[in-house]
Amino acid sequence: MLKRNFFKIYILLWFISGCKLSYNTYDFEESPEIQEPDYSKNVSWAVLPEKIPSVISDFYKEKKKEKNADVFYIYPTLIDGKDLKAWNSDIWDRSIRNDVLKRPVKYQASAWIESGNLYVPFYRQAHIRVFNKKFQSDGKKALDLAYSDLKKAFLHYLKNYNNDKPFIIASHSQGTFHAKRLISEFIDGKELQNKLIAAYLVGYKVDKNEFNNIKPMIAEDEIGGFVAWNTYKMNKYPRKNNYEEWFRGGVTTNPITWDESIDTKNTLHKGLLFTNLKIFPKNINIKIIDGMIWSSVPNVPGKFLFRTIRDYHFADINLFWVDIKENAKLRADQWFLKNNY
């Protein structure tokens, strides 16, 4: 039993990477050249409304019915090999493509699949080392390359798929880093802002005044703004320097009540999604502090192993999977109500 529970926790920790930094580095110019995605072709998309992978088909109850809203989801960092020379992921590598589907698409993007037509582009994401200051110069080049893919994917989506529908932006970790840039360039203060239902910018610091016109939302049915959070174990902090740079001062939404509640008991928690795709409702207590959510230890199989973990970044979305799912549907419905659609 101990071995089985350890395996479950290992998989849970593994399915969203970004918890460790690699210190081996190589010049960006030495990185292998990777074929650019062509978003006019389905092969460049992990998920399209007509291309629902089997890993999330169970969550997609209305497979043939087009929804009135869209969701554009950007997945987190998945490449972190210590000796990997590549600064960006090879999206044509079968193992990398499967990794995207079996980790973030299955356990994260699935939370939004009922609230809109889901669009998930493959993109040449940057290696996790880009977030280490030692590699800032080459890291910027890798991040710019990753963003160039997402920019093209988003523009293609708008031109060919959106058909003037309102939309949700959803992201985690590196995905949120890029989502912030995408929102600033194409949505904030632009005509497109009127179509924004909400932005779920999870797992990366987002300042209150990150955007000129798009603001944090503090009510469960509010629309047109953003929510954001980072999660740690109750009463635990990152190292001081990391806390100051990556957390303190960032917007911290309560993803259970979606208001300004500081302490929320597990009786209000709608449910987390575990690795076996089982929902565990009324599972965690949370407390909001400056820049972070503190979460109690999840009451799941192998719970005792969670006690050794302080950073719950890997589960930022899974801990609140049902809460997010229901909230996204509520905000989408509210958008149509307020806009008389």
Query: Nearest Cα to 117, choosing from 175, 183, 72?
Result: 72
CA distance 13 to 270: 22
Query: Nearest Cα to 201, choosing from 212, 190, 215, 191?
Result: 215
Residue 139's pLDDT band (cuts 50, 70, 90): confident
Query: In whole angstroms, how large is the CA radius of gyration of the chain?
Result: 19
Look at residue 64 in the predicted model and tell me its pLDDT: 58
User: Mean pLDDT over all residues of the chain?
Assistant: 90
Give how many domains the chain has, as a whole number: 1
CA distance 334 to 230: 26
Residue 25's pLDDT band (cuts 50, 70, 90): low
Amino acid identity, position 18: G
Query: Around Cβ 14, how many Cβ atoms within 10 Å?
Result: 12
* CB-CB contact of 19 with 73 (8 Å): no
Look at residue 63 in the predicted model and tell me its pLDDT: 57
Residue 16's pLDDT band (cuts 50, 70, 90): very low
Look at residue 14 in the predicted model and tell me its pLDDT: 39
DSSP 3-state of 170: strand
* CB-CB contact of 57 with 63 (8 Å): yes
Query: Around Cβ 336, how many Cβ atoms within 10 Å?
Result: 14
Look at residue 310 in the predicted model and tell me its pLDDT: 93
Q: What is the pTM of this model?
A: 0.93
Instruction: Write the pLDDT tens digit of every residue in 169-186.
Output: 999 999 999 999 999 999
Indicate whether 5 pLDDT > 70: no
* CB-CB contact of 174 with 88 (8 Å): no
Both structure tokens of 299: 């009451």
Q: Which has more pLDDT, 196 or 60? A: 196
Look at residue 83 in the predicted model and tell me its pLDDT: 64
Indicate whether 20 pLDDT > 80: no
Indicate whether 4 pLDDT > 60: no
Indicate whether 7 pLDDT > 50: no
Instruction: Write the pLDDT tens digit of every residue in 76-107.
Output: 999 887 667 788 999 999 999 999 999 999 99
Look at residue 135 in the predicted model and tell me its pLDDT: 84
Among 175-189, 193-207, 243-257, 302-316, name the one with the lowest average pLDDT. Answer: 302-316
Look at residue 30 in the predicted model and tell me its pLDDT: 77
Q: What single string gives the DSSP state of each residue in 228-280?
A: EE-EEETT----HHHHHHHTTTB----TTT-SS-SEE-GGG---EE-TTS-EE
Among 37-46, 92-101, 130-139, 319-328, name the one with the lowest average pLDDT. Answer: 130-139
CA distance 174 to 83: 20
Sheet strands side by side (includes 231-233): 231-233, 292-295, 286-289, 263-264
Instruction: Write the pLDDT tens digit of every residue in 275-311.
Output: 889 999 999 999 999 999 999 999 999 888 778 899 9
Domain membership of residue 281 as a residue range:
2-338
Strand 292-295 vs strand 231-233: parallel, antiparallel, or unpaired? parallel
